[in-house]
Amino acid sequence: MGRVQDKVVFITGAARGQGRAHAVRLAEEGAHIIAVDICEQIDSVGYPLASRDDLDETVRLVEKLDRRIVAVTADVRDRTALQAAVAEGVASLGRLDAVVAQAGIAPIGRPEAQALLDATTVNFSGVVNAVEAALPHLPDGASIIATGSTAALMPPSDNGRPDSGKLGYSFAKRSVASFVNDLAVALAPRRIRVNAVHPTNTNTPMLNSDPMYREFRPDLENPTREDALPAFHVMTAMGLPYVEPDDIANTVLFLVSDESRYITGAQLRVDAGAIVKRRPQQPQF
Distance CA 47, CA 153 (A): 24
pLDDT at 154: 77
**Domain range for residue 254?**
8-270
CA 266 to chain centre: 15
CA 251 to chain centre: 12
Q: Helices 126-134 & 164-187, crossing angle to 10 degrees? A: 30
Question: Would residue 2 count as lying in a domain?
Answer: no
Question: Would residue 27 count as lying in a domain?
Answer: yes
Distance CA 85, CA 79 (A): 10
CATH number at residue 44: 3.40.50.720
Q: Which residues of the chain have pLDDT under 70?
A: 155-160, 280-285
Alpha helix ranges (H) inside 136-223: 164-187, 210-216
Question: Would residue 279 count as lying in a domain?
Answer: no
pLDDT at 153: 80
pTM, two decimal places: 0.95
Spatial contact of 110 and 163, defined as CB atoms under 8 Å apart: yes
Whole-angstrom CA distances from 171 to 56, 148, 151, 178 are 32, 11, 11, 11
User: Active-site residue among 47, 169, 213, 262?
Assistant: 169
In the chain, how many domains are there?
A: 1
Give me the sign of the Cα torsion angle 131, 137, 138, 143: negative
Question: Would residue 252 count as lying in a domain?
Answer: yes
pLDDT at 285: 54
* Half-sphere exposure of residue 4: CA atoms within 13 angstroms, side-chain side: 30
- Residue 221 neighbours by CB distance under 10 Å: 7
Listed residue (39, 26, 116, 38) closest to 82, CA to CA? 38
Distance CA 145, CA 131 (A): 9
β-sheet with 143-147: strand ranges across: 69-73, 32-37, 8-12, 98-101, 143-147, 193-199, 267-270
Listed residue (271, 26, 28, 272) closest to 143, CA to CA? 26
Q: Backbone phi, then psi, for 223, in 5-degree steps?
A: -70, 150
Q: Backbone phi, then psi, for 202, in 5-degree steps?
A: -125, 140
Give me the sign of the Cα torsion angle 254, 256, 258, 260: positive
Question: Would residue 1 count as lying in a domain?
Answer: no
Per-residue pLDDT of 170-191, as tens digits, reads 999 999 999 999 999 999 999 9
Question: Would residue 110 count as lying in a domain?
Answer: yes
Spatial contact of 30 and 68, defined as CB atoms under 8 Å apart: no
Q: Backbone phi, then psi, for 172, in 5-degree steps?
A: -65, -45
Question: Would residue 31 count as lying in a domain?
Answer: yes
pLDDT at 158: 62
Question: Would residue 12 count as lying in a domain?
Answer: yes
Q: Is 242 a catalytic residue?
A: no
The helix (run of H) or strand (run of E) holding residue 199 is strand 193-199
pLDDT at 276: 86
Spatial contact of 109 and 220, defined as CB atoms under 8 Å apart: no
